[in-house]
């Protein structure tokens, strides 16, 4: 039964969104860097060629289709955060000066983008790389020891086991403490 929220028809057009995304990113980079001398036509042709080449690979389409919703959520979060600052009385010039003068905001945005890209890469290629690693002798490793851990043929199980390991969680906490300590001690307000 067809409903208003039935989005199965959009699956036939799943290559259009990655095409538009790649075209927009490449065109924006070429316009910003002025690599071709700020020629709109040449930049549009190069962006179109790169976008067409990107939709030839089904893996790239899957990666971009995974990344687009997460980038949309991140952008909505940042917009709502800016609205929250405005509600509490921050003026546009103060927000703009904080964004341009403080490099930590840039690093946070870059870090979030890299996490999304790595998650998309793992989502698309993780299981196939895990299956390739367990072909031949590697499949017997877990069977001979009889243990369950990160040496399984399931990528999802391996990631969950790694992230739930107490040593990894402790390392993440220590790393976060070190990052904040370095940021606070080396800031401009340090005496």
What pLDDT, in 10s, does the model give residues 107-119? 888 889 999 999 9
Tokens of 70: 């997460």
Q: Could you tell me which residues come within 8 angstroms of residue 100 by beta carbon, excluding any fewer than 6 positions away?
A: none
| CA 155 to chain CA mean position, Å | 18
pLDDT(159) > 60? yes
State the chain's mean pLDDT as an integer: 82
Tokens of 84: 């929250």
Grade residue 47 by pLDDT with cuts at 50, 70 and 90. Answer: very high
| Strand, helix or coil for residue 189 | coil
CA distance 96 to 56: 40
CA distance 186 to 184: 6
**Considering only 28-42, 48-62, 142-156, which range has the smallest mean pLDDT?**
142-156
pLDDT(94) > 90? no
Q: Are 72 and 17 in contact (CB under 8 A)?
A: no
Terminal CA-to-CA distance of the chain, rounded, Å? 68
Q: Could you tell me which residues come within 8 angstroms of residue 126 by beta carbon, excluding any fewer than 6 positions away?
A: 155, 159
Sign of the Cα pseudo-torsion (29, 48, 79, 116, in order): negative
More confident residue, 159 or 139: 159
What pLDDT, on the 0 to 100 scale, is given for residue 68? 87
Q: What is the pTM of this model?
A: 0.69
Among 5-9, 81-85, 90-94, 155-159, name the most confident range.
81-85
């Amino acid at each position: 039964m067809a409903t208003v929220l039935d989005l199965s028809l959009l699956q036939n057009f799943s290559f259009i969104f990655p095409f538009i995304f790649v075209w927009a990113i490449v065109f924006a980079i070429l316009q910003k860097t002025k690599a071709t001398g700020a020629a709109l036509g040449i930049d549009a042709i190069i962006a179109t060629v790169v976008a067409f080449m990107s939709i030839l690979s089904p893996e790239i389409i899957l990666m971009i289709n995974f990344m687009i919703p997460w980038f949309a959520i991140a952008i909505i979060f940042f917009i709502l955060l800016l609205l929250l600052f405005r509600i509490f009385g921050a003026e546009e010039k103060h927000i703009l000066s904080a964004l341009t003068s403080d490099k930590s905001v840039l690093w946070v945005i870059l870090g979030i983008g890299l996490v999304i890209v790595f998650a998309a890469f793992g989502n698309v290629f993780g299981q196939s790389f895990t299956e390739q690693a367990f072909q031949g002798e590697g499949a017997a490793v877990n069977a001979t020891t009889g243990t369950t851990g990160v040496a399984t043929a399931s990528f999802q199980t391996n990631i969950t086991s790694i992230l739930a390991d107490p040593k990894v969680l402790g390392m993440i906490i220590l790393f976060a403490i070190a990052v904040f300590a370095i940021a606070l001690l080396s800031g401009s307000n340090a005496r």
